[in-house]
Structure 1
Amino acid sequence: MRFSIKHATLGSERIGTLTGFVKSPGTVIETPTAALFTQGGSVLHLTAEVLAKVFSTPQLLWVPVSNSLQLEPGMKAQGEGVAKFTGLPEHLTCVSAHNMSEVTPSGHFELDKVPLWTKNGKKMVNADRYMDLMEVYKPEIILAIADGRTALNEGYKRIMKSLDRSCNMLDTCVYRYKASKQLRHSGLIGVVVATGMPKKLNESIEHVLKYKDDLTGVALAGVTDATDESDKLALEKIESIFKTVSDKLPKDLLRVIEGCWNPAVIVAAIEQGWDLFDGSYPTKLSNAGHALALNFDTNRQSAEPCLLDLNDARYTEDFTPVLEGCECLTCKKHTRAYVRHLLNTREMLSSVLLSIHNLHHFDQLFVHARQHIAANTFQIYKAHITKQYETYKLPQTTNGLTDLKESDIKMNGTANIKKRLSVSDDEITSPVVNGSVY
């Protein structure tokens, strides 16, 4: 797997390509982009058949070990990797240790081991065990295991241990990666930690860059631990971290950011030259009954908010598409009223339709970003997206869920509140309610 820069501007933003995938030689993934976030190796709420209707070309799947470790026995028996085992053989995979978008218990560390909070409880994993797993997963991109689940306000002792543990783990990961025949076609990504302390951050970057000839790229962790406090960080603070780290990295390395970041943070990261994101944000929205509704036309201001809370009763008789002009399957065939009805009746189809829309629309955020970078107008695009998001406020009442803020939308969304009924794939394209097609 190779990363190359296709177009660079006078600033730091750039367009790149990921190519040279052994199982899919003709596939080209343009960056900046986001992977499709998975749970248990599958894109949440979508079957393989529905996913093929949303994306007609091979996509990059983001697979955290913490939510897919239960698949190991089956993958070992099959011997063809996580993509083939989960029924998505044409897609490419990027495997990380953690799901950085969910809150986990603090502490529980051991020497050179980090805890993975799986569906079967806590599993202590060291670098050797992690690289054993990579030989089973057989991903195209590997994020080295690191102790990166820290917030910017972590204490000195915690940051020191995070740095030491991550450096030792990277040493082992690189050694195992170079010695492995199974991983010779995969790309290894080093992980930078300790972002809350400039001196320790520099040490982390220097240690990662010791292996720059062996690495395909560098990932940034240690900015958020997914708690509410991390979600409320000032955009200027986050942007300064992106710039600080980016300025110290070689331009030919792929730059990856973990975490569930909103569009304003994403365009700020793109401006500083970051290429790949984990794609958990649209999943978070879909789980909570929200639809992404960004206006990408920089010459037009939209009266609509950039996020629609379709739980809200105001959409009960709104028979317009979820987003006017959107080309996704949901917007072509269904209305806000129908999706609101599905949410109100706890139908699982609501999550399916919202996932189709949010994944498509989130992908369009990056498509338009690449177009503006190529046209040297990215600064205008960034300001346009940032203004929409910063002026957005969620409705205060949502179908019985009062005072809901964006920080309340977790990766499990309202799953503990809503128990939705099962749905067949056919209903996605032909729903009928009370004799009427919506």
Structure 2
Amino acid sequence: MPSDHPRQSEFSFRVDTRLTGNPSTGEGGEATLGRTGTITTPHGEIQTPAFIAVGTKATVKAVLPESVRDLGAQAVLANAYHLYLQPGPEILDEAGGLGKFMNWAGPTFTDSGGFQVMSLGSGFKKVIEMSVAASAPAGADDAVAPGKERLAHVDEDGVWFTSHLNGDRHRFSPEISMNVQHKIGADIMFAFDELTTLQNSRGYQEESLERTRRWAERCVAEHFRLTDERAGKPYQALFGVIQGAQYEDLRRKACRDLGAMPFDGFGIGGALEKENLGTIVGWCSEELPEDKPRHLLGISEPDDIFVSIEAGADTFDCVSPTRVARNSAFYTAEGRFNLSGAKYRRDWGPLQDGCDCYTCQNYSRAYIRHLYKAKELLSHTLISIHNERFVVRMVDDARKAIEDGTFWEFKAETLGRYYGARV
């Protein structure tokens, strides 16, 4: 296993403020696992906690990069699997990397492709079914969505998978994922891992965890080789991915194993139930190195974000703000609502009173509803801008509340309003 690489100093993380107080009482001055911090990358800083906007195919769906910047997003996360298939990593490399390709000047992330290989490969499309009440019985180690066939097959070396675009067969391994991500050129990459579901048996979870550990070692070795080979490029940080489902011993083992490797940070992913989110993130935060950032994959709901911040997560990403926008759903301080309702037909107010986003400053609910009903794509853009701004601002405000010692009051007020009575 290689030791730290000299160029890792080009990426750094600093803890700035500790979250203090008792999560159950809101009293006392004892430090929790939560913190604010600063991630420094070759393309700028990220003040944490931070919500990272998802730009799957080198675009935040329906939103100009300039608008993503204006709504306050500090970084964008793209999808290595999708960019590998289209337009291909060589195209992004020729363009000067992901940021230049999509006209985004700030920090960028890419995931490893592991989630998409396994989720699309098992036929579950956008989300892997994490419920034990899914199509296969608990303990099934080859779960596939109803009416689908398995399109991904794991072995020790990597994964064979069939493209969801045209049926072509492809191979991903730790080395291939690293080569793809280096060519894409994001500031932060994730190691290639195997994603399991809650349907998998305990025995398979253990086997998979060990495979992910061995893949992590291979990712580090290939990452350092490519860093030397591509010496003229900006340094790209590599995060290890923590799996282990809902087993405390497996999660802690994964953190200790990967925490001993020369990763620049860590992603917390894998199968879990919502009610266990904070507990699992807490296990990981207790075990992982204190001086390296922790990214929580696929989280954007307000209650999930707050519990994860308390448990020590630093950054988050999720496609939800733009996905629900395409179905006319919009966020407000009082909860999420659906703009297609007839009551908005003559509603001349903004999506949310007092919101500082471009959409709310310029457009009415009535107009955006008209666009949606008329199947005009501008509705996707306007609601997506608002939804992304809502989540980015909420996490930014949570960071400020940690800094000024009002986090618990801010959390109670925000969640009380959001999950209170619908209007």
Taking structure 1 as the reference length, what is the TM-score of the superposition? 0.77
Runs of at least 5 residues in structure 1 that lack an aligned partner in the other structure: 225-232, 295-304, 396-438
Paired residue for 1:369? 398
In structure 2, the CA distance between the partners of 1:184 and 1:315, relative to structure 1 (3 Å rule), is: closer
Determine if contact 1:140/1:185 at 8 Å carries over to the other structure. Answer: yes
CA–CA distance in structure 2, aligned partners of residues 115 and 384 of structure 1: 48
In structure 2, the CA distance between the partners of 1:175 and 1:82, relative to structure 1 (3 Å rule), is: same
CA–CA distance in structure 1, aligned partners of residues 259 and 54 of structure 2: 27
Matches within 5 A, 1:299-338: 305-338=334-367
2:394 alignment partner, SS class: helix
Matches within 5 A, 1:16-415: 16-19=37-40, 21-22=41-42, 24=43, 27-55=44-72, 59-69=74-84, 70-72=86-88, 74-75=90-91, 78=94, 80-88=96-104, 90-98=105-113, 102-103=126-127, 106=144, 108-111=152-155, 112-114=157-159, 119-121=165-167, 123-148=170-195, 150-180=196-226, 181=228, 182=230, 185-211=235-261, 214-224=262-272, 233-235=273-275, 237-294=276-333, 305-391=334-420
String of CA shifts for 1:55-108, please: whole Å, max 9, x gaps: 4xx8311011122221225526615112222333x1321110245792268463
Q: Which has the higher contact order (CA 8 A, sep 6+)?
A: 2
CA–CA distance in structure 1, aligned partners of residues 328 and 216 of structure 2: 39
1:189 alignment partner, SS class: strand
Determine if contact 2:296/2:313 at 8 Å carries over to the other structure. Answer: yes
CA–CA distance in structure 2, aligned partners of residues 202 and 147 of structure 1: 17
1:43 alignment partner, SS class: coil
CA–CA distance in structure 2, aligned partners of residues 285 and 308 of structure 1: 10
Q: Which amino acid aligns with 1:331?
A: C
In structure 2, the CA distance between the partners of 1:259 and 1:324, relative to structure 1 (3 Å rule), is: same
Determine if contact 1:153/1:196 at 8 Å carries over to the other structure. Answer: no
String of CA shifts for 1:241-290, please: whole Å, max 9, x gaps: 11122111221110111114411011100011100111323122212211
* Superposed displacement of residue 216, structure 1: 1.6
Runs of at least 5 residues in structure 2 that lack an aligned partner in the other structure: 1-10, 20-30, 117-124, 129-142, 145-149
CA–CA distance in structure 1, aligned partners of residues 166 and 101 of structure 2: 20
CA–CA distance in structure 2, aligned partners of residues 103 and 41 of structure 1: 20
Structure 1 stretch displaced more, 337-346 or 96-105:
96-105
Q: How many residues are aligned here?
A: 365
In structure 2, the CA distance between the partners of 1:50 and 1:197, relative to structure 1 (3 Å rule), is: closer
String of CA shifts for 1:380-412, please: whole Å, max 9, x gaps: 22233333444467x9xxxxxxxxxxxxxxxxx
Determine if contact 1:66/1:118 at 8 Å carries over to the other structure. Answer: no
CA–CA distance in structure 2, aligned partners of residues 201 and 49 of structure 1: 39
In structure 2, the CA distance between the partners of 1:38 and 1:76, relative to structure 1 (3 Å rule), is: closer
Determine if contact 2:328/2:383 at 8 Å carries over to the other structure. Answer: yes
Q: Which amino acid aligns with 2:323?
A: K
CA–CA distance in structure 2, aligned partners of residues 287 and 61 of structure 1: 19
Q: Which amino acid aligns with 2:317?
A: D
* Superposed displacement of residue 163, structure 1: 0.9
Paired residue for 1:408? none
Structure 1's consecutive aligned runs of 4 or more residues displaced over 6 angstroms after TM superposition are: none
In structure 2, the CA distance between the partners of 1:264 and 1:341, relative to structure 1 (3 Å rule), is: same
2:294 alignment partner, SS class: strand
CA–CA distance in structure 2, aligned partners of residues 60 and 187 of structure 1: 14
**Percent sequence identity over aligned pairs:** 24
In structure 2, the CA distance between the partners of 1:80 and 1:247, relative to structure 1 (3 Å rule), is: same
CA–CA distance in structure 2, aligned partners of residues 217 and 146 of structure 1: 15
Q: Which amino acid aligns with 2:181?
A: M
Determine if contact 1:307/1:392 at 8 Å carries over to the other structure. Answer: no
CA–CA distance in structure 1, aligned partners of residues 76 and 166 of structure 2: 23
String of CA shifts for 1:172-191, please: whole Å, max 9, x gaps: 01111222223771111111
Q: Which amino acid aligns with 2:99?
A: A
* Superposed displacement of residue 310, structure 1: 0.5
Determine if contact 1:79/1:136 at 8 Å carries over to the other structure. Answer: no
In structure 2, the CA distance between the partners of 1:115 and 1:54, relative to structure 1 (3 Å rule), is: farther
- Please, which of 10, 13, 29 is the counterpart of residue 3 of structure 1? 13
RMSD (Å), alpha carbons: 2.4
* Superposed displacement of residue 158, structure 1: 3.2
* Superposed displacement of residue 115, structure 1: 5.7
In structure 2, the CA distance between the partners of 1:315 and 1:109, relative to structure 1 (3 Å rule), is: same
In structure 2, the CA distance between the partners of 1:76 and 1:12, relative to structure 1 (3 Å rule), is: closer
Q: Which amino acid aligns with 1:379?
A: W
In structure 2, the CA distance between the partners of 1:49 and 1:382, relative to structure 1 (3 Å rule), is: closer
